[in-house]
Amino acid sequence: MYINNMVRYAYYSNLWNNNVSTSSAPMINSVNQSVRTALKSTEVNNVSNYNIHKLTSAVSLKTDAEQLSKSAKKITNNTDSGTFAQKVALSEDSTKITASAENGAYNTTYAINIDQIAKAQTNASNLVDKSQLSSMQAGTNTISITSGGKSKDIDFSISNGDTNEVALNKMAKAINASQSGVNALIVKDSSDNNIKLQLTSDKTGTSNVFSITDKIGNSVASTGINSISSNAADAKYKLNNIEYTSNSNEVTTGGVTFTLKNTTSNAVKVTVKQDSSKIGEDINNFVQDYNNLIKDARNSGISNSNALKGINSIIDRSKSSLEKIGITVNKDDTLSVDKNKLNNKIENDIKTVKDTFNSYQGVATKIKNYSSSIAKNPFTAVGVNTIDVYNKGLISSSNYLNQGSVLNLYR
């Protein structure tokens, strides 16, 4: 008698035969329970419960091994996306300058003097009583804004009886919707009765100055919005005693981006180094994933399988090296991390930490290979004789296996 379930059992068929990643099948637990229930409800004389237990345990082990392999691969990745390429840039005075570093940036120290920060041009209209009638011409008004060498015509309509507040808001709304490179804002004075229109370039620097003129109507002339209240300026700074200018207050060199915030009287130092926090986080994730695999193996009663013994032997041979960086082996073969000791080692002796995990004989290097092997061969890892299981009729696959066939459990 066949027990067929297209949704659930196709998963097992693909898992065992095609090495499908368990991450693509979120129904693992329900599949396990369905298999157990189905087998319990029938008389299975040719397959032991012990083998059934191993089969279902292999699902959890495969998932754990895939995750552990993923964590190990990040630690052993020697490109800029790897664990030990993560960098941070630290400023000694964040009120003057802040910085960020891309992965792979060189460890070094920069000295920065800021003589002038970049500024955006700002225009301001005349201050007017918001409740008084507007002097803007009724009907369609067209203004032209020229910014960065490009001009844009902007239309808006003024009605008879519009107050200054209504008219200025119409003008501001039209400018903000135009994407002309200029932002408009209504500003109130302390009394809350008088208002003005303020225009600011959305980019700093002298190459982003703007002008505003009337084309139809008198909205620019009547408001005085073409009056510059603050001129655009370029940033002027010295990087390691070499002078530079920039339209922006964000400048990048050598994979490090500096944000200039205030002028300085003395040079501010910015240090680029390994990101101890992120490196420690990756190592802690690796340890957690390793512990999950060990715990699940013990709970499944397969901790004595050859695969798990192999991983344990890797840790045992590296026990002394791990202890030097703050990682100890517990009696149940799991690992514990002294985060303070590990972070201190990352800060002051990153080479030792990297060699412990990422060298040719490193812990993560070896476990990456071992966990990948377990993920590809979960039957072998839990000690199931695959041929014996097939011969006894526990698993049979149809001729449509590659199209996602049904796994048949029968007696």
Average pLDDT over residues 46-66: 69
What's the pLDDT tens digit per position in 290-314? 999 988 888 777 766 666 788 888 9
Residues 251 and 181 in one domain: no
**Domain count for the chain:** 3
**Among 222, 223, 248, residue whose Cα is nearest residue 234:** 248
Residues 111 and 238 in one domain: yes
Residues 133 and 186 in one domain: yes
What is the pLDDT at residue 1? 32
Confidence tier at 387 by pLDDT (50, 70, 90): low
**Among 229, 247, 228, 210, residue whose Cα is nearest residue 116:** 247
238 CB-contact burial (10 Å; exposed 0-12 / middle 13-18 / buried 19+): middle
Residues 107 and 153 in one domain: no
Residues 226 and 157 in one domain: yes
Q: Is 3 inside any structural domain? A: no
Q: Is 126 inside any structural domain? A: yes
Q: CA–CA separation, 310 vs 288, rounded Å?
A: 18
Question: Using an 8 Å Cβ cutoff, are 325 and 341 in contact?
Answer: yes
Q: Is 400 inside any structural domain? A: no
Average pLDDT over residues 169-183: 96
What is the pLDDT at residue 356? 96
Half-sphere exposure of 320 (CA within 13 A, CB side): 1
Residues 151 and 300 in one domain: no
What CATH number has the domain bearing residue 204?
2.60.40
Residues 128 and 223 in one domain: yes
The strand pair at 182-188 and 235-239 is best described as unpaired
Residues 239 and 108 in one domain: yes
Q: Is 326 inside any structural domain? A: yes
What's the pLDDT tens digit per position in 365-384? 999 988 888 888 777 776 66
Average pLDDT over residues 249-272: 97
Helices (H), 224-338: 276-299, 306-317, 319-324
Nearest 5°: the CA angle 255, 100, 104 is 40
What is the pLDDT at residue 374? 83
Q: What is the model's pTM?
A: 0.73
What's the pLDDT tens digit per position in 128-151? 999 999 999 999 999 999 998 899
Q: Is 28 inside any structural domain? A: no
Least confident of 39-53, 108-122, 269-283, 291-305: 39-53
**Residues spanned by the domain of 369:** 48-82+277-386
> Pick from 230, 264, 293: which residue ends a domain?
230
Q: Is 266 inside any structural domain? A: yes
What is the pLDDT at residue 385? 58
Percentages helix, strand, coil for the chain, rounded to the nearest 5? Answer: 40, 25, 30
Residues 208 and 309 in one domain: no
Residue with tokens 């290979």: 369
Calculate the dihedral angle through the C-alpha atoms of 236, 242, 248, 250, rounding to the nearest 10 degrees: -130
> At residue 268, what is the residue type?
V
> At residue 190, what is the residue type?
S
Residues 223 and 152 in one domain: yes
Question: Using an 8 Å Cβ cutoff, are 174 and 140 in contact?
Answer: no
**Among 288, 302, 392, residue whose Cα is nearest residue 335:** 288
Q: Is 211 inside any structural domain? A: yes
Question: Using an 8 Å Cβ cutoff, are 182 and 194 in contact?
Answer: no
> At residue 305, what is the residue type?
S
296-335 CB burial, b ≥16 within 10 A, e <16 = bbeebebbebebbeebbebbeebeebbeebbbebeeebbb
Average pLDDT over residues 23-43: 47
> Pick from 251, 274, 297: which residue ends a domain?
274
Residues 211 and 291 in one domain: no
Residues 70 and 128 in one domain: no
Q: Is 411 inside any structural domain? A: no
Question: Using an 8 Å Cβ cutoff, are 337 and 363 in contact?
Answer: no
